[in-house]
Structure 1
Amino acid sequence: MALDQQSNWDIMMADNLAKVQLDYGKSKGINKDVDVHIPASSPHRGEDGTSSNTWTTEPIYLPDEVVLQILEYLARGPDSQYSLAAVCRLSHQWYSAAVPYLYRYPDLYGSNFDKFCKSICPSINLHVRKSPLSKLVKVLDMSRLVHQGSKSVTARLLGRTKDSLEEFRAPQASFAVNCLPALAKCHKLRSLDLSLVSESPPLPELFRTVSHLESLHSFRLPRSSGFGVHHNGTAIAWPPNLEDLALSGGIDAHFLHGVVGFPQTLRSINIEHCPLAKGYAVSHLLRVAVQPLQNLVYVRIAHLPRLSAHAMDDILFLLPQIKKLSISVDYITPAMFDEGHFSHFREPLIAGVDNSHHPPYGNPLKHEHLHTLELTNSGHPNVEDKISPIDIMIALDECTLPRLRVVRVTKSLHWHSNSTSADAEALSEALQEGSKRDWENREGVFADMDREEYEKADWAKMAGVWSF
């Protein structure tokens, strides 16, 4: 936009603001001589600089396209709820345009939850009063609520928003089995997060509910869920298009020992906060149920208190297809990259299963696909020095991880300390050198980019050691 056009735009906006301020003052009975801030360019300021209530020009009308662009910008801001609510008070045009943005992702917390419920559910009787605002809600995030509301209120909110709801994060205390019938009708639901639920509904009923949600791509089980001895895992029916799954809760050996199979559509799996899961059972689950998932890209394992200090040393060779691994150092050692430790992987892991398409079985020292390695800390004492930058440097030198380009490390592992900062810097340079080769040869992550993406790509920013 040219400078003179921008100046004209500022004057126009200032004129509109002055008109709104004057009209507001009249509606409140404020004396017309009260000094209201009006820019010098406004026609409402006299030659002596005093304000005047004479409006000589028509209010400026903004096309809907311009209004929508402004609202798109406001909706991305940190205080979008306050900004959108203020904009709704400007005029009928702004109200009509801003209300869908205001209710699309309501920011819910303790003090405003009751008001939101009254807007969405003005009556307990569904057929008495319906609120048109309920169809505007696309993301219902109740994760910040603890004692507010009740189980019946949550069920009513799901029932009123079922036609448009795309994401739902359940509250800690007010989600129960009576919410499942309404949840089953949320056919547009893409993400369901029940991780905070303190009292999990019966899992067979929960799985029957979500199994019919064809749009559901992300599903996080409650940390309070329990798979008991009598649970028939073969009856579990997953959503047909599920891509992201988070397992948590009381998952025991009866669940993990091959009882449950996962859908082939899975691209990401997260196993954490399972206090009953033991190392041999998790390894068996990875070998039998997770390894056959050919579309799997990302795996995360953390907060499993019954795993030993080396329980997950085999994970890279159990899952040769993954490109990103996030794992707690509590469960791994440098043997993760050691040749002698993996001599038993020269034979197929599962009898009768053809594993020839998995590169690591031909050469157990080479993981062809891993691009990002994330090291976390689950809180066990004295684990800070279990994996060092030198261990990963050796793996790079021996071509164990030929595609590794990004290493993310939690700050609690102290890789930034004086004793290891130089090693971390050397590892970062080695990773960036590999990314530079990929960029020059158009390999790795650059191979799948179209020409425009490739020209905008910066290999230096896509590799290295990062702390979080």
Structure 2
Amino acid sequence: MALDQQRNWTISMAESLQATKDKTAAAAKPHEQSTASFPIRDDDPKPHGYHSTEPAYLPDELLLEILSYVSHTPEAQKSLHTCCLLSRQWYTAALPYLYAYPKIYGKNYDPFVRTLCPSINLRVKDSPLASLVKVLNLGLLVHHSSKSVTARVLRRTEASLEEFVAPQASFAINSFAALSKSHNLRSLDLSLVSEAQPLDKLFSSLRSLKHLERLRFPRSSGFGAKTVDPDSIIWPPALKDLYLSGGIDANFLYGIVHFPPSLERLTIEHCPQAKSHAIRALLTTLSRARLPLKSLSLSHLPRLGISSLDPVLGLFPDLEELSVSVDYITPAIFNPDFQEWQSEDTPNFTNHKLRTLAFTNSGNPGVDDKFSPIDVLLTLDEGSFPNLRKVRIARSLGWERGETRDETEALIDRLVELGTKDYGEKTGVFAAMSTHQWRNANWKDWAGVWIID
């Protein structure tokens, strides 16, 4: 009986398999008959081995979440361009991200300009894509544009522009009008501009920028006029980060009689015409203003003496970051003589808020032995600068070589000891962190000696 059941099951399965084969062959015959009259050629397209399906639909909220991550990747522009080619839904969602932070270089600049400025006359035809641009970085352009084209692009994007980096050779006074109307501008970088700009016209254009937080002056020579009217120097009210460089002379530095009340970072670099007395006058004015200055950087000032900046720490007791070239300081920076700068207050370094100290090299010969790790270590042992945890050293100073290496390791051990104590007691930089941030923080990122190039 069992054998009969097995035989019946085998026969039924064989019949079912044969019926399936017959149906498949019958379905293929009409296709064979329709193509029988056409001979097969070598260049005929070959059938693919996969089945095409409709693309899966994703909600717009999910697309925007995905694109927000894609837009921060190194290949964001290429990836976002690919996303725009998928479907209309992806195109609509990815287009604002694609034009918000465009990466512009020589080859794609002309198509970019033609897209934003299809007509020279602003009233003839306008591109809706211009209102999507938030960051316009033309720093990679040299002779790929003209001054009129740069001004035209700024006029098209002035309503939405938040950050602008000017090109080297194609930025001029005809762009000032568009800058004055960029009311959402937060960062303006003119450091690459090679042509001298009229200082009074520039300040006049920046007065209306109430949201401007970061300003970098050009490094071009002769930036300032021979005489500067102090009344014309009116800073944007929200300015927090100021970068002074280029042909800034004593007249310009003496002409600064006030600073924006919100200034937190100041950088003075690459100023061949700035003299010691002018830099001192500027820093003294800044110190008396009692501004919330947190970071100060001074380097590449060839007219300064070997100890011109020794009193800088005493002028700013609330300073948290200082970067200074060893060309202009001596170990007396930790105990400066303030009579020369006519300071009214006696410095008290036991309550100083300095956390990060960086020593750079401006290229003058014979400065690699002016400062040593022992000078910093002795200062910490004396109780000065109780919040100092980070020390950054230029590689050219040689703190990681020879006999100085042992002194550097001793300084590292001392800073790590202080950083470990801060983390265990939740003091110093960890005091302002939440409990979750404090537990996930790595104290090694906040204490030690770093070699910088």
Do these two structures clear the TM 0.5 threshold for a shared fold by scoring above it?
Answer: yes
261-270 vs 455-464, which moves further: 455-464
One-letter amino acid of the structure 1 residue matched with residue 46 of structure 2: D
Distance apart, 1:421 and its partner CA:
2.3
Q: Structure 1, residues 436-464: CA drift from partner, whole Å, max 9, x if none?
A: 22223332212222333223222232111
User: 2: distance between equivalents of 1:399 and 1:104?
Assistant: 50
Aligned pair partner of 1:145 in 141, 148, 167 = 141
2:320 — aligned with what? 323
Structure-2 change in CA distance of 1:259 and 1:185 (3 Å): closer
Residue 160 of structure 2 corresponds to residue 173 of structure 1: no
Conserved 8 A contact 1:266-1:293: no
Q: How does 1:244-255 map to 2 (within 5 A)?
A: 244-255=241-252
User: 2: distance between equivalents of 1:228 and 1:310?
Assistant: 29
Residue 331 of structure 2 corresponds to residue 349 of structure 1: no
Aligned pair partner of 1:197 in 187, 193, 208 = 193
User: 2: distance between equivalents of 1:59 and 1:447?
Assistant: 51
Q: Structure 1, residues 236-284: CA drift from partner, whole Å, max 9, x if none?
A: 1110111111111222222323643111210011111111111222122
Conserved 8 A contact 1:286-1:319: no
Conserved 8 A contact 1:258-1:289: no
Distance apart, 1:324 and its partner CA:
0.4
User: 1: distance between equivalents of 2:289 and 2:423?
Assistant: 31
- The answer for unaligned runs of 5 or more in structure 1 is 1-29, 36-50, 356-360
Residue 105 of structure 2 corresponds to residue 106 of structure 1: no
1:158 — aligned with what? 154
Residue 373 of structure 2 corresponds to residue 389 of structure 1: yes
User: 2: distance between equivalents of 1:367 and 1:380?
Assistant: 33
271-280 vs 139-148, which moves further: 271-280
User: 2: distance between equivalents of 1:168 and 1:258?
Assistant: 27
2:46 — aligned with what? 33
1:304 — aligned with what? 301
Give the match's secondary structure for 1:231: coil
173-182 vs 300-309, which moves further: 300-309
Q: How does 1:203-282 map to 2 (within 5 A)?
A: 203-224=199-220, 226-257=223-254, 259-282=256-279
Q: Structure 1, residues 29-65: CA drift from partner, whole Å, max 9, x if none?
A: x954265xxxxxxxxxxxxxxx15x54x433222223
1:126 — aligned with what? 122
273-282 vs 453-462, which moves further: 453-462
User: 2: distance between equivalents of 1:464 and 1:291?
Assistant: 32
- The answer for unaligned runs of 5 or more in structure 2 is 1-42
One-letter amino acid of the structure 2 residue matched with residue 428 of structure 1: I
Aligned pair partner of 1:87 in 83, 95, 111 = 83
Structure-2 change in CA distance of 1:343 and 1:379 (3 Å): closer
User: 1: distance between equivalents of 2:68 and 2:370?
Assistant: 47
Give the match's secondary structure for 1:342: coil
Give the match's secondary structure for 1:276: coil
Structure-2 change in CA distance of 1:434 and 1:125 (3 Å): same
> Who wins on radius of gyration, i.e. which is larger?
2
Aligned pair partner of 2:393 in 389, 400, 409 = 409
User: 1: distance between equivalents of 2:351 and 2:270?
Assistant: 28
Conserved 8 A contact 1:372-1:405: yes
Give the match's secondary structure for 1:146: coil
User: 2: distance between equivalents of 1:375 and 1:80?
Assistant: 36
Q: Structure 1, residues 379-426: CA drift from partner, whole Å, max 9, x if none?
A: 222222222211111111112222100011222222222332222222
Residue 69 of structure 2 corresponds to residue 73 of structure 1: yes
Aligned pair partner of 1:464 in 438, 448, 453 = 448
User: 2: distance between equivalents of 1:294 and 1:71?
Assistant: 40
1:27 — aligned with what? none
Aligned pair partner of 1:443 in 423, 427, 437 = 427
Conserved 8 A contact 2:204-2:232: no
Give the match's secondary structure for 1:165: coil
User: 2: distance between equivalents of 1:228 and 1:260?
Assistant: 16
User: 2: distance between equivalents of 1:79 and 1:220?
Assistant: 28
Distance apart, 1:431 and its partner CA:
1.0
TM-score by length of 1: 0.83
TM-score by length of 2: 0.85
Give the match's secondary structure for 1:257: helix
One-letter amino acid of the structure 2 residue matched with residue 106 of structure 1: P
Distance apart, 1:323 and its partner CA:
0.6
Structure-2 change in CA distance of 1:87 and 1:348 (3 Å): same
Structure-2 change in CA distance of 1:378 and 1:182 (3 Å): same
One-letter amino acid of the structure 2 residue matched with residue 383 of structure 1: V
Distance apart, 1:206 and its partner CA:
0.4
One-letter amino acid of the structure 1 residue matched with residue 254 of structure 2: H
Residue 311 of structure 2 corresponds to residue 314 of structure 1: yes
Aligned-residue sequence identity (percent) comes to 48
